[in-house]
Amino acid sequence: MEIFKAVASEKGVPSSTLAVCHTMILEDVSKLPQVDSSGISLSSLDESHLGLVNQMWKFAKDEIAVSMIRNMITHFPSCCVLDPEGKPVSWMLMYVSCAMGMLYTLPEHRGKGYAKVVVSTMAKRLHTEGYPVYCFVEPENMVSYRLFKNLGFSEDPLYKHVFYTFNEHKIFQG
Ligand SMILES: CC(C)(COP(=O)(O)OP(=O)(O)OC[C@H]1O[C@@H](n2cnc3c(N)ncnc32)[C@H](O)[C@@H]1OP(=O)(O)O)[C@@H](O)C(=O)NCCC(=O)NCCS
């Protein structure tokens, strides 16, 4: 962070920190509680969902974000809950760093247990495929923090994750 800030300032390039997040890791997948997914239609995201995911992602909505999300949807694991019309109402993706992210439930569908199902499904799948299971949570996002804690994740004090703009581009640091 200090190096990026110093270089940006020296070159006169606009830069700013958007968020400094806790790293939450699931060390032991057997700690995942049983989550009832009966009656919930689960799927992976596809390119037709790109606009919706981009619209709801809080950090950016520009072309760079669109191409990043397209890459994630196309080449990496994802999970979503579909409504009866086949529209995603809750979802989670994986960044190229292998971190799970962009967890989101549409406001009218919150509190139905969808995020719990999506996170535990992704966590089991990533573990089975040999990935580490971790994600980032902003310190003020207590709902999300508790959600991951209750699913067996713990905070890794050694790592923070920073969303940082540099010359109007987003960069991601573990
Ligand atoms: C965080 C978020 C994904 C939770 O989605 P959700 O589908 O409503 O979550 P669930 O229904 O699975 O609930 C998970 C837990 O959070 C609790 N919870 C959900 N919304 C809550 C709220 N507004 N206040 C307090 N607790 C809440 C639930 O009671 C549940 O707790 P439990 O395990 O003790 O039963 C959703 O609020 C959201 O999209 N927020 C905006 C984006 C965001 O913050 N994403 C996370 C980035 S790390």
Ligand 1 centroid to Cα of residue 103, in Å, is 10
Answer whether 144 contacts ligand 1 (Cβ < 6 A).
Answer: yes
How many angstroms does the Cα of residue 111 sit away from the middle of ligand 1?
Answer: 6
- Alpha carbon nearest to ligand 1 atom 43, residue: 104
CA–CA gap between residue 135 and residue 95 (Å, rounded): 9
Query: What confidence score (pLDDT) does residue 171 get?
Result: 59
Task: Supply the angle between the helices 114-128 and 142-150 in degrees, to the nearest 10.
Answer: 50
Phi and psi based region of residue 98 (left: phi greater than 0; alpha: psi -120 to 50; beta: remaining): left
Whole-number Å distance between alpha carbons of 13 and 93: 31
**Secondary structure (3-state) at 166:** strand
Q: Determine if ligand 1 sits within 6 Å of the CB of residue 120.
A: no
Task: Identify the segments of the chain with pLDDT beneath 70.
Answer: 169-174
- Gap between the Cα atoms of 147 and 81, Å rounded: 17
Question: What is the pLDDT, as a whole number, of residue 170?
Answer: 60
Predicted pLDDT of residue 172: 52
Q: Is the CB of 25 under 6 A from ligand 1?
A: no
Q: Which domains does the chain have, with CATH numbers?
A: 11-173 (3.40.630.30)
pLDDT at residue 169, as a whole number = 67
Structure confidence by residue, pLDDT tens digits, 47-58 = 999 999 999 998
Ligand 1: distance of its center to the CA of 167 in Å?
33
DSSP string for residues in 63-98: HHHHHHHHHHHHHS--EEEE-TTS-EEEEEEE-TTS
